Structure 1
Amino acid sequence: MKTLVIQLARLGDILQTLPALSAYCRANKKESVHLLVRKKFAEIAHILPVCNKVIEMDTKVLLEPTIMTGDAGVEDSLQAMQQWVDQLVSEGYTKIINLSFSPFSSYLTSLLTTEGVEVVGYTRHTDGFLAIPDDASAYFYGQVGVNRSNRFHLIDLFSSILGVEILESDWNIKKITNKDKSQGYIAFHVGASNPKKALSASALTKLLKVMVGSLNEDIHLLGAKEDIALAASIEQQVCNKKIKNLVGKTTLTDLIDVVAGANLFIGADSGPMQICNLTDTMCINFSNEFV
């Protein structure tokens, strides 16, 4: 038995997939379980392995010919896609579980489905219309549909689609449990994947000034390389030795370690919040009309 689990969404979705996937692997120990993710977000699946194999979808290889040369590159993109799909089909999967809810993932699932393969999640009929063979995915589609807000916690949704009950042990993923929180610092994420989610520089500065004036803990600033200028400006204006600027200096592994060791994580982006779920770190998520 060999199962392919497809998760083509972003970092936060992959992080929320891991506990449910851990439960699935625990309940189906005789199966070889592979997880398909986008290359851009694959690192987290390698850092926190819960299945037998992680497969990366390199969208650059598949789409670059079309993006760079327009219609002239479509044939090259289709050829690259066909070769990649053929490689996946040759794995001989007996079950395909699509945990993505995108049109692309449904077409991909359909292309990978050969005779006798069990399919769970969004796929396509032979005429191209959407097919949803399982009750959990169908219920999600009925409630959320297309371009509407999701009211379900994704971990509950993924575990329902996978047909598993998550145990406490499924949250305790190797490498990030039992971290020492005695240093007593607060991790503060200054940016966000979507600028609309983030607080303004002035708001961040005002908040951090209040925090350093009223709290004893050091505050570790976190963010991507594109947040370096923002963090430098904040650090200069707050001007307090409690501020430790780590923005643009951390790998994903470093980020997990920093979050795991923090007494509190504060930020506007949902992705790092999912790390808090796995590290048992208290968190505060900034909220606005986009969050």
Structure 2
Amino acid sequence: MPRALVIQLARLGDLVQSLPAITQLRVRHPETQLDLLCPSHLAEVGRLLPGIEKVLEWDGAAWQRRAMAAQQDLRAEHLAEVETTLMALAPDRYDCAYVLNQHRRALVAGSLLAREVKGPLLHGPLGETLAPWAAYVRDVAQRRLGQRVHLADAFCGLCGVSPPGDILPLDPPAVRLPDDLEPIGKHGDPWIALIVGAGETERCVPTEVWRRWITVFLASAPQGRVVLVGTERERAAEIQSLLPSSNLGRIWDTTGRTSLLQLAAILVRCHRVVGSDTGPLHLAAALGRPVIGWYFARARVHETGPYGTNHWVWQAEQGDVEERGVLAPCQWPVDETISLLSHQMPTPTENWSLWASYRDELGAYYIEAGHEAIAPLQRAQIWQALQPSPV
């Protein structure tokens, strides 16, 4: 049986947004065993992805230590250790590796673990010439233009396949929660998961803003509950310290207490998920939960908006531009987001634009609220230019 390896060594959001490519690779190559190489701490999420038969765990910290040691004093034992580690990962080389990162470590892993590599570079890990789809992704990241092919669909292009026709939600994991968290989602309506932090500080919503959002939401929804999710316990504690004590009985703090599988189980129990462009937001979307994203800093809805349908994204349009082009909003769509939760179209704001998610045969796209839901022509033109033959 042919064997192929998908390599995704980036963060949680990138891993989840690899699902369209994995789905279509499975459709195109039904007789091929499709495995996944991902960071060790994300392996349990990798095992949720349909179509993946085996997950290989990449210890990024260990590889970083090896690289630093080799830079200082390259010895034969360093190379022997690398060979031993790779043999433990995959004793037999794969027929093909699909590399979804432009990181050198992913490219090297693909070259060492497989006979053929498809991905960002045309001439191996030491080359400099980008494949057409990789050049496109880099251009979008640098120029920050308008409607574009979604990153998840660009991953499909890197693999030489088109976006899938259908993507089923991930199956929620059967996992036990801590006893005090078991009531989440069982009484009251609605339950809203609030992602309190982000992997990058620049994408963190200020705690005072979340305090205000929670206060207004709980006042507008007498039976509503808020579930704080993520790993940032200190931020969650600060938010709660700013709230009146009368609200605390309707707040469920799960931060720093759950595994990724437990986080997934909690997200599935909530009616909506709200947060910035983070891994948990994309995980919620992949689990079939409708999400509302606040996109600012360097996040752009057309590139990394939650994949699928029934999602909303607020895109920051005005604010203070900091170093590296990071946009820091001066105002936040607090009341407007609560209007969306109440199924009311909010009043437009000059600081933020509102976008709704859609999908078609070319993948995901977003249309600004109030505009007709017509798929943008640019995507078809881009696919024709970068991948003119049928896929």
Give the letter aligned to residue 128 of structure 1: L
Deviation at 1:271, TM superposition (A): 1.0
Matched AA of 1:36:
L
Flag the 1:65–1:36 CA change in 2: closer, same or farther, 3 A.
closer
- Structure 1 CA distance for aligned equivalents of residues 164 and 212 of structure 2: 41
- The 2-side partners of 1:207 and 1:254 are apart by 25
Deviation at 1:266, TM superposition (A): 0.8
Q: How far off its partner does 1:113 sit?
A: 4.8
SS at match of 2:242: helix
Q: Report the AA paired with residue 26 of structure 2.
A: C
Task: Specify which of 210, 215, 226 is matched with residue 219 of structure 1.
Answer: 226
Give the structure 1 partner of residue 298 of structure 2.
Answer: 290
Tell me the distance in 1 between the aligned counterparts of 2:46 and 2:21. Answer: 13
Q: Does 1:192 align with 2:198?
A: yes
Is the contact made by 1:61 and 1:80 (CA closer than 8 Å) also made in structure 2? no
Deviation, 1:88, is 5.7
Q: Secondary structure at the match of 1:122?
A: coil
Q: How does 1:150-165 map to 2 (within 5 A)?
A: 151-162=148-159, 163-165=161-163
Which structure would you say has the larger RCO, counting Cα contacts within 8 Å and 6 or more residues apart? Answer: 1
Q: SS state of the match for residue 262, structure 2?
A: helix
Which position in structure 2 is the counterpart of 1:71?
72
1:248 partner SS? coil
Query: Does the Cα contact within 8 Å between 1:6 and 1:98 map onto a contact in 2?
Result: yes
Q: What's the secondary structure of 2:154's corresponding residue?
A: helix
Q: CA 1:88–1:231 in structure 2 vs 1: closer, same or farther (change >3 Å)?
A: closer
Q: Deviations over 1:82-119 (max 9, x none)?
A: 333455674232222111122332233334454xx3x3
Matches within 5 A, 1:194-273: 194-216=200-222, 217-224=224-231, 227-238=232-243, 239=245, 240=247, 241-273=249-281
Match for residue 18 of structure 1?
19
Instruction: Give yes or no for contact 2:99–2:120 (8 Å, CA) kept in 1.
Output: yes
- Counting only pairs closer than 5 Å after superposition, residues 69-108 of structure 1 correspond to structure 2 as 71-72=72-73, 77-86=78-87, 90-108=91-109
Note closer, same or farther for the CA distance 1:204–1:143 as it changes in structure 2 (3 Å cut). closer
Q: CA separation in 2, counterparts of 1:72 and 1:55? A: 29
SS across alignment from 1:42: helix
Q: Which residue of 2 aligns with 1:144?
A: 138
User: How many residue pairs align between the two structures?
Assistant: 279
1:277 aligns with 2:285: yes
User: What is the TM-score with the length of structure 2 in the denominator?
Assistant: 0.63
Q: 3-state SS of the aligned residue for 2:198? A: coil
The answer on whether the counterparts of 1:19 and 1:171 sit within 8 Å (CA) in structure 2 is no
Q: CA deviation at 1:202?
A: 1.7
Post-superposition offset of 1:129: 2.0
Q: C-alpha distance in 2, partners of 1:38/1:281?
A: 25
CA gap 1:32/1:283 in 2 versus in 1, 3 angstroms: same
Report how far residue 14 of structure 1 moved: 0.7
- On the 8 A contact 1:188/1:222 being kept in 2, the answer is yes
- Asked whether the 8 Å contact 2:120–2:134 carries over to 1, the reply is no
Q: Secondary structure at the match of 1:50?
A: coil
For the residue of structure 1 that corresponds to 2:20, the secondary structure is: helix
CA RMSD of aligned residues (A): 3.0
**Corresponding residue SS for 1:3:** strand
Aligned residue for 1:121?
A: 119
Q: Is the 8 A contact 1:109 1:123 kept in 2?
A: no
Unaligned stretches of 5+ in structure 2? 175-184, 300-391
Contact 1:65–1:73, Cα closer than 8 Å, also in 2: no
Q: Secondary structure at the match of 2:282?
A: helix
Q: Secondary structure at the match of 1:220?
A: strand
Q: CA deviation at 1:265?
A: 0.6
Matched position secondary structure for 2:212: helix
| CA distance 1:202–1:175, shift in 2 (3 Å) | closer
Q: Describe the shift of the 1:165–1:152 C-alpha distance in structure 2 as closer, same or farther (beyond 3 A).
A: closer
**Residues 213, 121 of structure 1: CA spacing in aligned structure 2 closer, same or farther, 3 A cutoff?**
same
Find the residue that maps to 1:148 and give its secondary structure.
helix
Partners of 1:69 and 1:89 in 2: how far apart? 23
Q: Structure 2 vs 1, CA of residues 74 and 46 (structure 1 numbering), >3 Å: closer, same or farther?
A: farther
SS at structure 1 position matched to 2:4: strand
Q: 2:171: which partner in 1? A: 174
Question: In structure 2, how many angstroms separate the alpha carbons of the residues matched to 1:144 and 1:69?
Answer: 29
Distance 1:24 1:181, change over 3 A: farther
Instruction: Provide the C-alpha distance between the structure 1 equivalents of 2:198 and 2:124, rounded to a whole number of angstroms.
Output: 40
- The 2-side partners of 1:127 and 1:47 are apart by 29
On the 8 A contact 1:8/1:37 being kept in 2, the answer is: yes
Q: Which moved more, 1:64-73 or 1:201-210?
A: 64-73
Contact kept in structure 1, 2:99 and 2:106, CA below 8 Å: yes
Q: Decide which structure has greater helix share.
A: 1
Matched to 1:138, the amino acid is: P
Name structure 1 gaps, 5 residues minimum: none
CA contact (8 A) 2:272 2:290 kept: yes
Amino acid across the alignment from 1:234 = I
Q: Matched residue of 1:265: which SS?
A: strand
